[in-house]
Amino acid sequence: MAARDETPSARTLVLDVPDWPGHQAGQHVDVRLTAEDGYTAQRSYSIANAADGGRLELTVQRVPEGEVSEYLTGVYRVGDPVEIRGPVGGWFVWRPAEPDPVLLVGGGSGIVPLMAMIRARKAGGSRVPFRLIYSVRSPEDGYYADELRTRARDDSGLDVAYVYTRRAPRNWPEPPRRVGVAALNTAGWPPELAPLCYVCGPTGFVETVADTLVALGHDPARVRTERFGPTGG
């Protein structure tokens, strides 16, 4: 068990789960916390790692006033027990046996299940080409920055493109902007290749990206979405 900070407001918890049945990339778990008087609260979190025995990694974004996320990113100490239920979800998943090219479009904390897919691709020995478009407010807000840099270099067939919405790094070739037709055209796949598209992030982000993909000619049935509501917790 371990914990590491991804950004100033996001923390990855590495949990050791006895009898974990394994999971598919993109699935999530329910985390249930119980207070001393029996009060409980539960929330869903995407799994960040590829299946690896009983090891489970969750990256939790602290939500202001979020009763579960504030605990997990703050009070929680490595070794404290939490209750986990899962894995859950059978639609927003990617399996290493899938033969089609993949486009991943993540906004903010929406990278988490997409990162599990990138990790599962390598772990499963898949050679399917992956393209990730990752939208973050500023360079400091990106999760897994070092690992994505390394993987973009070493994981053959993985392309990583960033879009900065508020503040770009110095000397970045374009001003801050949102993911739109331009980014999806240049850093995505042409619809003729019929990629599987996974879009995850806040509701407005997912709506815009999914609508744009359909407008560009992607089959709506091949655009899978997962939305994080503004409430979370």
- For residue 231, state whether it binds other proteins (rule: CB under 8 A): yes
- For residue 203, state whether it binds other proteins (rule: CB under 8 A): yes
CA distance 68 to 146: 27
- For residue 214, state whether it binds other proteins (rule: CB under 8 A): yes
Q: How many chain residues touch other proteins (CB under 8 A)?
A: 43
CA distance 60 to 12: 6
Q: Are 199 and 105 in contact (CB under 8 A)?
A: yes
CA distance 43 to 118: 24
Shortest distance in whole angstroms from residue 5 CB to other proteins: 19
Shortest distance in whole angstroms from residue 167 CB to other proteins: 27
**CB-side neighbour CA atoms (13 Å) of 143:** 24
Amino acid identity for residue 51 in this structure: A
Shortest distance in whole angstroms from residue 193 CB to other proteins: 18
CA distance 13 to 229: 22
- For residue 75, state whether it binds other proteins (rule: CB under 8 A): yes
Among 43, 62, 119, 131, contact with other proteins (rule: CB under 8 A): 43
Binding site for other proteins (CB under 8 A): 32-36, 38-44, 65, 67, 71, 75-77, 80-83, 88-92, 203, 207, 210-211, 213-214, 220-221, 223-225, 227, 229-231, 233
